[in-house]
Amino acid sequence: MDLRGKTVTIAHGAGGKQTAELIAQVFKAHFSNPYFTADDAAVLPAPEGRIAMTTDGFIVSPRFFRGGNIGKLSICGTVNDLSCMGAEPLYLTCAFVIEEGFPFEQLEKIVSSMEMTAKEAGVRIVAGDTKVAGKGQVDGVFITTTGVGRIMDNVQTSGSFARPGDSVLVTGDIGRHGCCILLERDEYGIEAEVSSDCAPLWNSVKAVLGKVPEVHVIRDATRGGVGTVLYEIAQESDTGVLLEREFIPVDPAVRGVTDMLGLDPMYLACEGTLVMVVAQEKTQEVLRILQTQKYTHNCAVIGHITESEKGRVVMRTAIGTQTYLPQPGNELLPRIC
C-alpha cells in the first residue's frame, strides 16, 4: 500500500473494515509469524518450568530520537525486563493508542523498527490491539508491550539477593537515553551528539547466564537511572552500596551536557544498560563475557555491596572523600520512555 500522505482516522479504530485493513497492511505485513493471531487471542505452546511476565507503556516524546524511536524502545523495554529475570523472551503483544490524523508513514517506520528489534531479540509478536482517539485526546501514539518469557534453569535473580562483598556492574556507559531525549527536546539550545543507548539486551544476558547462572541481581536502569536502581537494590537486600566515582563509565558528550545543566548522569535513564550484582569471584568472568557482546563492551565494575550503610548508596571519589548519592525522588524528566 502506498502510505504517503495518508493518516489514521477514527474509522481505523472502530473495529470494522478499516481496522481490518490497518491490521493487514501495517501490522500483519511486519509482524507476520506462525503465532500472530486473527482471533481474540493467540494460541501458543506453553513454555515449561517458570515463566516471567511483564508489561510497559511507552509515551516517549519526541517519538523519533537519535538511536531509536518509540517502537524500538517499546520492544527493548519489555525484552530487557524479561532478560532481567533471566527469562528468554518468547511472546510479545503490543497495544497502540493512536491520535486521529497520525501519519501512516510514521506508523510504518515505528512498526518496522519493532519488527527488526523483535527479530534481533528472537521474540515473536503474537497479538495486538489498536485504538484511535480523537485529535488532542492522545499525543501522537502510545504503545504498550507485554512479554512472556521462559526463565532459564538454575537462574534466580531478585533485587533482594545482593550480598556484602558482591561486585556492582553496569553493562555500558550510563545516562545516554535520558540525555538524548533532553537534547532532542531542544529546550536548552545545546548542540551535542548523544545517541540513546536503546538496545535489546537478551543476547548479552543469555551469554552471561549460560556460563554464570548464579548472578544475584539484574536490573535495567530505565526511568530513574542507575542511581534509583541502586537505592532499590540496597533497600530490598538490606545492604549498602559503595561506588567508585572514577569507575563509572559516562560518555564524554553526556558528561559535558550534564555538567553544563547541573544534572547527575546517575539519575538519567538508560534503555540499553543494565545493573548487575555478582559474587566477587565471578566478576571477571562476567566482564569477559559482556565484553564480547554487541551492546555491552563498555561494561565496568563501579563498586561493591557493603554490610554497612544499609539501604544507602555511598559515592567515593578518586581522592577518597565519600558522600551519599542523593536519594532519588525529585521530579525527573517526564515522558522519557
Enumerate residues 145-164 that contact a second copy by CB under 8 A: 146-151, 157-159
Shortest distance, position 99 Cβ to a second copy, whole Å: 10
Side by side, the strands of the sheet bearing 167-170 are: 217-220, 274-278, 167-170, 300-306, 240-244, 313-316, 322-324
CB of 227 to a second copy, least distance (A): 9
CB of 161 vs a second copy, minimal distance in Å: 10
Considering only 8, 70, 84, 275, the residue that binds a second copy (CB under 8 A) is 84
Question: What are the C-alpha distances in Å from 50 to residues 55, 60, 89, 151?
Answer: 17, 32, 13, 6
49 touches a second copy (CB under 8 A): yes
Q: Note whether 41 binds a second copy by CB under 8 A.
A: yes
Please state, as a whole number, how many other Cβ atoms lie within 10 Å of the Cβ of residue 11.
Answer: 15
Between residue 181 and residue 200, which ones bind a second copy under the rule CB under 8 A? none
Residues between 304 and 333 with contacts to a second copy, criterion CB under 8 A: 327-333
Piece of 83-91, 189-197, 240-248, 296-304 that binds a second copy (CB under 8 A): 83-91
Q: How far is the CB of 63 from a second copy (least distance, A)?
A: 12
| From 70, 126, 266, 299, residue interacting with a second copy (rule: CB under 8 A) | 126
**Placement of cell 510514521 in the chain:** 106
Query: Which region holds residue 132: left if phi is over 0, alpha if psi is between -120 and 50, else beta?
Result: beta
Crossing angle of helices 70-84/202-211, nearest 10°? 10
Report the residue from 5, 34, 252, 334 that binds a second copy according to the rule CB under 8 A: 334
Burial class (CB in 10 A: 0-12, 13-18, 19+), 48: exposed
Q: Which stretch binds a second copy (CB under 8 A): 50-58, 105-113, 193-201, 254-262?
A: 50-58
User: How far is the C-alpha of 330 from the C-alpha of 87, rounded, in Å?
Assistant: 32
DSSP 47: P
